[in-house]
Chain A
Amino acid sequence: MDYFAQQAINAIQLGSIYALIALGYSMVYGVLVMINFAHGDVFMVSSFFCFLLLLVLPVPFVVALLLVMLATALLGVCIERLAYRPLRNAPRVSAIITALGCGLVIQNTTLSISPYSQRMPELFTPVTWNFAGLTISSLQILIVGTSVGLMLALDFFIRKTRYGMAMRAIAQDRITVPLMGVPVNQVIAVTFAIGAALGGAAGVLYASAYPVISATMGVLVGWKAFVAAVIGGIGNVRGAVLGAYVLGAVEVFTVTVLPSTYRDLIVYTLLLVILIFKPYGLLGRPAVQKV
């Protein structure tokens, strides 16, 4: 029993980190109907921001988290302004290729600066508790707590604020909404800032949990978060969170009951089966194709 409980804790930790990254994919898709493939590398570079920050100044966790989120948000806005905005009315394929290109530029820039993996200094020394055969560390609680807190804040932002309302409006109709006086460029920039900032938070938490960081680590984690967003229903913020926890749980519990050699095979087969029955994801709604 405690064995399964321990695996459940592992699944929640993994799911929380996937969720923070998946939100970035889902928000941008919701507003622009564009898959921001650079997001995985933005996440990666944020953990390097955190690494550099700690190298210069050993700040406490909260300060590091906020500073890195800010820096990553700026990066997200810059990418949007320089690479995506000029192509907003170009064919969608061009935008996707540009996103892939941005990701490669970020990854290779990091690679040229730091070809080696780096050991992340500890943001704080985690305390480990053992009870009833379970091992929980304060770090795990912090990761899950920060993730859930940020997700609730985002949910509130989208549902209750004017910017959130503007985002939802643009997601519904990008042609008419500007006519109502909504500053589309500004709202899209804010979307990218928030999406990137969440990726930045994920970068800090990820680097604390898995303290060896490398320039190529964004690829696999980014793909998995993207898969989570699709499973949950891309474009839907709550769906992205649900999809991330489903992915984390499936990954961990597959290893619990079956040989780990087949993990990825089983995980992705299962996820494909979900998509066969729910083609728009768990919480997604069928998109209405406008002519």
Chain B
Amino acid sequence: MLKASVFLLLTTCAVFLTGCTDPNRDAVKIGMNIELTGEIPAVGASSKNAAELFFNALNEQGGVTLAEGPKKVALIIRDNGGKADQAASVAQQLISSQDVVAMIGPNSSACAIPAGEIAESLKCVMISPWSTNPKTTLDQASGQPKRYVFRGCFTDPFQAIVLAKFALNDLGAKKAAVLYDVSSEAPLGQATLFKDTFTAQGGEIVAFETFTTGDKDFSAQLTNIREAAPDIIFLPTYYNDVPLIAQQARRLGITAQFVGSDAWSSPEIIKLGGADVDGSYFCNHFSTQIATDEAKKFIADYTAKYGQAPDDVAALTFDSCGLITEALKAGGKNDREALLGALSKIREYKGVTGTFRFEPGSGDPIKSAVVLQIKDGAFQWVTNAQP
């Protein structure tokens, strides 16, 4: 009886497993290592949506054209829970056992930095659509750029300059306060870079306060900030922390303008923040209001399929998929080294988030930024910032 049931179980497993791998055997496999659960699930969802939109359209046209003919692309999507350790193990799994040709994601810098280390050591191309921290594409040991790691967005030093100049020149702010999550890579980097840049440009940082991931009470830090009486409060924190900070600040009677980084970009911030975040400015990768023709098509397709306009993570993921496809075509082979060779030779790519320019030997694109304002429940385009 026991033997029979074990046998039955094994056969079912075998049938199930072969059934699973069969359709992908001949396809080009691309892994996705994204934040579907955890603190920032909206980021992972946007990324998944955009990638599926891109590759479904590509597969309908026959797939990606390689030297041996067109091949379908199979996406292998894995959740990293928004956690660094899980992102590293997902990277390991995708590259070693799923045998993907390239990996898209993770998006948050806290996840992208460790996953990048794994991709580099296992020699597999990784593109992080949204990680702006410089460390993602830098080899920690040597300080040299990683060979296999690319990104789809600008970096934090550039963003810090954009925001510092905007605060000083456009908002006329002299005194700024900063409140950020000290235990998360992207906010930590953005806060420090903003502090240096804002001071160098002639401004003054009057309060520099921190919290740790998961905190919901910011009253002590905000009371400190109220004492310092800043003109603006810079909040380089993720979209899910900003609403509570804004609400508690307003309840304490703080009227200073909020300014944020690209970590704000999910429309969730409007839903969660309501009137408290209205009027705030932030730096972003993409605006639906100044779209090129290709971008308009992407926005229309995305909106038709998912019922909401794409945010910047979606747009950057879409462009990352585009970059990989372009490089696969140029390399002509379903092979990691061929892909890397072709991707490293791309100097310019026109995507929905603007033009990417790559310097030889660097995985960081040079591209422009936009400043948006949250106004009447929508993101309004304010200005462009060129590199």
Residues of A within 8 A of B (CB): 3, 6-7, 10-11, 13-14, 111, 115-119, 126, 128, 130, 135, 137, 206, 209-212, 214, 216-217, 219-221, 251-253, 255-256, 259-261, 263-264
Contacts and interface: CB of A to CB of B under 8 A. Distances in A.
B215 A220 contact: yes
B220 interface: yes
A91 B41 CA distance: 38
Contact of A3 (B208, B227, B247): B227
A137 B221 contact: no
Nearest to A122: B274
13 contacts: A10-B217, A10-B219, A10-B220, A10-B223, A14-B217, A14-B219, A135-B252, A220-B214, A220-B215, A255-B209, A256-B223, A260-B224, A263-B212
B220 A252 contact: yes
Contacts of A7: 220, 223
B216 A221 contact: yes
Q: Which 10 A-B residue pairings sit nearest by Cβ, starting from the closest? A: A10-B219, A220-B214, A255-B220, A210-B216, A252-B220, A115-B41, A260-B209, A260-B210, A261-B210, A119-B272
B344 interface: no
Contacts of B182: 261
Interface residue tally on B, bucketed by range: 35 or more
B256 to A, nearest CB: 15
A260 B39 contact: no
Interface in B242-295: 243-244, 247-248, 251-253, 268, 271-274
A212 B37 contact: no
Nearest to A112: B37
Interface of B: 36-39, 41-42, 45, 182, 208-212, 214-217, 219-221, 223-224, 226-227, 240, 243-244, 247-248, 251-253, 268, 271-274
Contacts of A206: 216
Contact of A128 (B208, B211, B244, B251): B251
A128 B224 CA distance: 19
B42 A116 contact: yes
Contacts of A130: 253
Contacts of B243: 119, 211-212
Contacts of A6: 223, 226, 252
Given A10-B219, A251-B220, A217 B214 contact: yes
Contacts of A211: 243-244, 247
A212 B240 contact: yes
Nearest to A111: B37
Nearest to A18: B217
Contacts of A261: 182, 210
